[in-house]
Amino acid sequence: GKRIAVMTSGGDSPGMNSVVRAVVRQSIASGCTPFAVYEGYQGLVDGGDMIKEMAWEDVRGWTSEGGTLIGTARCMDFMNRAGRLTAANNMVEKGIDALIICGGDGSLTGADKFRAEWPSLMDELISSGKRTDDELKSFRHLNIVGLVGSIDNDLSSTDATIGCYSSLQRICQSIDFIDATAFSHQRAFVIEVMGRHCGWLALMAGVSCGADFVLIPENPPSENWEQEMCSIVKKHRKMGKRKTIVIVAEGAHDRKLNKITAVMVKDLLSQKVGLDTRVTTLGHVQRGGPPCAYDRMLATLQGVEAVKAVLEAKPDTESPVICIVENKIVRKPLLDAIAKTKEVAANIEKMDFEAAMRGRDAEFEE
């Protein structure tokens, strides 16, 4: 059977451990040998015990654990060819020629570059005398399969990234807690949520919690948003609302790309509406903690699919990324998915917000 490595990379997200568990166990069930790469790409470069063979019981109970138990890192060594050559040699050492990686778009792009470069890395191992032609006969191709782990839900081509629903759940719980104290004092709260350049967490939290106003990067508010927001908040107060909740995505900006911060919103609410206002930045509580049932399920089904994709790959197969589209687990070309994601960012930069919104909804159009 094949020798398959699984790795988590980039920011951790709830569900990553469920991925590792599913890959390890499905590999064993398929007659393959699974390995876990510890500390992301750094583990590939360091080799040795950082690339560890995994047994069935090594991942027992992992599906309910938050973060990533095999660690993750932003690795500088892997950025240069010398580091990648060492990584390739370490993989050959363990007999591994398939890598399943769970991470964000940056980590997945890196993985596909590694695949493209692999044959030339093998040539270099031979020409530098580290390995013989014979030794590398069965290592001519590296198999990469991507899984999207991120709380941001920022990858086009998939309806949900592994971790986004756990994070959304945590945000909603936090806003429920804040609601109680806001109600008591009739206060306003401005809540900053994560998501990098993506407004999904902010928008869905707004819908789920009944926020008064939401600010997201893809669909910035109108030119005179300050007055608009204040009059909406005033209207809600007149209707008898005792509390005000405004959600600001960390990547929020106006239509000219000037950053909109939680503090700016707070100043408006206190000075223009006269509300006693507090700012709460939720921070990394949105990222840690146990995965919700949906993320455990998504990660498990996608981990299983990733192993199947490895076993069905032909030497010239493009790297796939495992997605979920309209409730079905599907494989898509990794590079396409990343290109579409980059397009959204580019459209925001160009201030073409309509295109940016359409880009986020790509999965519904296909």
The nearest distance, CB 286 to ligand F6P, in angstroms, is 7
Residue 238 and residue 103: Cα distance in Å, rounded?
Answer: 46
Choice between 130 and 196, CB closer to ligand F6P: 196
By CB under 6 A, tell whether 192 contacts ligand F6P.
no
Q: Is 47 left (phi over 0), alpha (psi -120 to 50) or beta?
A: left
| CA nearest neighbour of 226 among 269, 276, 270, 274 | 269
By CB under 6 A, tell whether 358 contacts ligand F6P.
no
List phi, psi (to 5°) of 230: -60, -40
For residues 25, 30, 36, 41, the Cα torsion angle rounded to the nearest 10 degrees is -130
Binding mask 10-49 for ligand F6P (x = CB under 6 A): -x--------------------------------------
| CA nearest neighbour of 31 among 311, 320, 315 | 311
User: What are the Cα distances from residue 265, in Å, to 185, 203, 233, 260?
Assistant: 19, 17, 12, 8
Among 278, 287, 296, 340, binds ligand F6P (CB under 6 A): 287
The nearest distance, CB 216 to ligand F6P, in angstroms, is 13
User: What are the Cα distances from residue 49, in Å, to 6, 90, 97, 238, 257?
Assistant: 14, 11, 17, 64, 47
Number of residues in contact with ligand F6P, rule: CB under 6 A?
A: 10
Choice between 220 and 251, CB closer to ligand F6P: 251
Among 23, 122, 194, 321, binds ligand F6P (CB under 6 A): 194
- Contact range with ligand F6P by CB under 6 A, out of 190-198, 218-226, 299-307, 326-334: 190-198
Choice between 152 and 305, CB closer to ligand F6P: 152
Contacts of 55 (CB under 8 A, 6+ apart): 28
By CB under 6 A, tell whether 195 contacts ligand F6P.
yes
Binding mask 290-319 for ligand F6P (x = CB under 6 A): ------------------------------
Q: Do the beta carbons of residue 146 and residue 335 sit within 8 Å?
A: no
Q: Which residues are catalytic?
A: 152
Q: Do the beta carbons of residue 229 and residue 181 sit within 8 Å?
A: no
The nearest distance, CB 162 to ligand F6P, in angstroms, is 12
The β-bridge partners of 6 are 36, 100
Residue 3 and residue 20: Cα distance in Å, rounded?
Answer: 15
Binding mask 211-250 for ligand F6P (x = CB under 6 A): ---------------------------------------x
Binding mask 145-184 for ligand F6P (x = CB under 6 A): -----xxx--------------------------------
Choice between 32 and 298, CB closer to ligand F6P: 298
Q: How many CA atoms, within 13 angstroms, populate the side-chain half-sphere of residue 23?
A: 35
Binding mask 102-141 for ligand F6P (x = CB under 6 A): --x-------------------------------------
* R_g (Cα) of the chain, nearest Å: 23
Contacts to ligand F6P by CB under 6 A: 11, 104, 150-152, 194-196, 250, 287
